[in-house]
Structure 1
Amino acid sequence: MDFDEAAERLYGMVPEEFTSARDALAKEVKAAGDAALAKRIKALRKPTVVAWAVNRTARERGDELGRLLDLGRRLREAWRAQDADALAEAGRERTPLVARLVRSVREEAEVAGHPLGSTADLEIEQTLDAAVVDEDAAEQVRRGTLTRPLSYSGFTPAPVVRPAPEPAAARPAGKPAKARTKVPAGAGPEAEHQAPDQDQERPEHELERERREAEHREAERRRRIESLENALAEAERAATEAERGRADWEAERAEAVREHERRTAKVETLTAKLAKARDKLKAAEHRLEVARREETNAERAARSARQRADQVRATLDEARSAHE
């Protein structure tokens, strides 16, 4: 077994089985003599529920996911080639494909007994969008080994802006365009009637240049808006992730408080028992001391009584001998 096989096996499991399975596999690999691989396996992170659901979809609906990843490849190629037509076509395909896959991810999670919350769609969509526009993200999604949802903060491929051709009916063939003089606000019909006489002929290339510059500014504005929207999505994702982390640590703190309270109560109980035990030990020590002292006194009295008995016996023996 190599690392990729181990990761593929583990990330195919439901989240609640991941940690125990990972630790057991790392232990097994270490026992087999590959400590380096065991360490890498042990370092694998448990996936979030959304990441797990996308991983499952990559395994169970690989063909459906493959169509989106192929679209991403074509989109990136069109972007590099600045092929506006190909970009436009890929853009039209992209939205319904992503929407279908979001539903598929939800369905797979429900089939496996882990229905996703209402806020999961955004994370799924961001992950799939990242796979469309970023080659590395596409490979992560394809392998099905995500640990958390992905997001993409760079520029999203968009069609190249090209100036639209001027309609043929706009002016007679071969005749240069004219720039109409703007009629001042409040001017009467006479001024409006005289305005055409004030028109000045302008070269066609100047009008074309101005049109290109306007379209370029509009394209830049759109790219700027898109960049800011992507940055906002990334910031919101980071805020969501931070809030999730805060909630996790809040739950961890609450559990730590409960554990501390349980241990404190147990220590207090044991402390009370220890105090009682010490009192009993002290009483036992006192009893032992008294018993030893009384035993010594009793032994001394017994020795004295034996001596007295011996003396009386000797006196009795003498008396008996004298009588004889």
Structure 2
Amino acid sequence: MADRVAEAMQDLYAVEPDEFMATRSRLVADAKAASDKEAATEIGRLRKPSLAAWAVNLTAREAEDVVADLVDLGERMRSAQSRLDAAALTGMRKERDATVEVYVRAATRAVSDAGRSLSPAAQQEVRATAIAALADEQASAAVTSGQLTRSLSYSGFGEVDLAEALARTTGGAILTVVPGGRGPGPAGRSGGGGKAAGDEAGDEPVGDEPGHEPAGDEVAERRAEREAELAEAERRLADAERAVAAARERAEETRERLAVVERQLAKAREADERALEAVTDAVRDRKQAQAARDEARKALGEPD
């Protein structure tokens, strides 16, 4: 199952945004046809990346050298930071600005080659993601994974928030791609690290007094209560996941509408500039015509 989901992610996060839903549906159907219902469920809940995240994913595939330069600079900057080497960090400032600028241009060009365009707002998200990759090792790995679902940002201190930003780790380990999914380590546990319903029942019940051996009915009752709590927690998490996905879809639609408005505004400004130029030319022509008229009147001896 894990291999099927990992392969599906590789395919899914390589397609253009307009093809994401159809591709995901096809991959779900393939998993169902292979009788892998668990993989079909996980694939079906993979989140569509924002336009900026797709641009970052595309750049990881189309501009490997540019991404490698970003990763290398980030390693050097973090090393200098760990040594508290202020002079080294200051010396890398121009390189940092240039590297980020090259990265944003590469992302913009990759998107353009794919027949799309990045709005100024989306370009700012790509820029913020590159800066986050310089500051944080995990963010750097996320940027190179090609499976980012949203843009990243760095506040200037602490770690970069990667919550719901990745479909999987760079090592291929599946994160929590389904509510309550059990991936490796803490990220794969549901709730606050409590036991899942499928864990062994022989562990000592939490809260029992030393030496107390609960009866079989009591154990079954407690287990049923925990399973009910787990089911409710997974239901709430599923609702929250759907709400987040819907909110991100709306945000992407809003950004796309904003891009359309920005393009219309740019065209309107160009039209306004042309109109002002036409007014200037018309005023100049009127002055010339008035001067010519006055000269003609003088030649005829007519008063002004």
Give the TM-score of the pair, scaled to structure 2: 0.50
Query: Are residues 1:109 and 2:111 paired?
Result: yes
CA distance in 2, matches of 1:68, 1:247: 30
Matches within 5 A, 1:67-82: 67-82=69-84
Q: Which amino acid aligns with 1:130?
A: A
Judged with a 3 Å threshold, the aligned counterparts in structure 2 of structure 1 residues 150 and 63 are, in CA distance, closer, same or farther, namely same
Contact 1:130 1:151 in 2 (8 A): yes
Q: Which amino acid aligns with 1:86?
A: A
SS of 1:2's equivalent in the other structure is helix
Partner of 1:97: 99
- Return the match for 1:56 from 55, 58, 61: 58
Judged with a 3 Å threshold, the aligned counterparts in structure 2 of structure 1 residues 40 and 154 are, in CA distance, closer, same or farther, namely farther
Task: Give unmatched runs, 5+ long, in structure 2.
Answer: 160-246, 258-304
Judged with a 3 Å threshold, the aligned counterparts in structure 2 of structure 1 residues 40 and 244 are, in CA distance, closer, same or farther, namely closer
Partner of 2:45: 43
Question: Which one has a larger percent helix, Structure 1 or Structure 2?
Answer: 1
Number of equivalences: 166
CA drift of 1:53 comes to 1.2
Task: Give unmatched runs, 5+ long, in structure 1.
Answer: 158-240, 252-324
CA distance in 1, matches of 2:249, 2:26: 31
- Return the match for 2:22 from 6, 20, 23: 20
Deviation digits for residues 274-300 of structure 1, max 9, x if unmatched? xxxxxxxxxxxxxxxxxxxxxxxxxxx
CA distance in 1, matches of 2:135, 2:20: 30
Q: Which amino acid aligns with 2:104?
A: V
Query: Are residues 1:245 and 2:251 paired?
Result: yes
Judged with a 3 Å threshold, the aligned counterparts in structure 2 of structure 1 residues 57 and 242 are, in CA distance, closer, same or farther, namely closer
What's the RMSD between the two structures over aligned residues? Answer: 2.5
Q: Which amino acid aligns with 2:78?
A: R
Contact 1:8 1:143 in 2 (8 A): no
Contact 1:133 1:156 in 2 (8 A): no
Contact 1:55 1:144 in 2 (8 A): yes
Query: Are residues 1:140 and 2:142 paired?
Result: yes
Judged with a 3 Å threshold, the aligned counterparts in structure 2 of structure 1 residues 246 and 146 are, in CA distance, closer, same or farther, namely closer
Deviation digits for residues 25-68 of structure 1, max 9, x if unmatched? 01211221222222211111111222111111110111111111
Partner of 1:2: 4
SS of 1:71's equivalent in the other structure is helix
Contact 2:51 2:252 in 1 (8 A): no
Asked which structure has the greater CA Rg, the reply is 1
CA drift of 1:2 comes to 3.4
CA drift of 1:133 comes to 0.5
Contact 1:102 1:121 in 2 (8 A): yes
CA distance in 2, matches of 1:106, 1:244: 23
Matches within 5 A, 1:180-199: none
Judged with a 3 Å threshold, the aligned counterparts in structure 2 of structure 1 residues 247 and 49 are, in CA distance, closer, same or farther, namely closer
Give the TM-score of the pair, scaled to structure 1: 0.47
Judged with a 3 Å threshold, the aligned counterparts in structure 2 of structure 1 residues 63 and 148 are, in CA distance, closer, same or farther, namely same
CA distance in 1, matches of 2:67, 2:252: 33
SS of 1:94's equivalent in the other structure is helix
CA distance in 2, matches of 1:6, 1:151: 27
Q: Which amino acid aligns with 1:102?
A: V
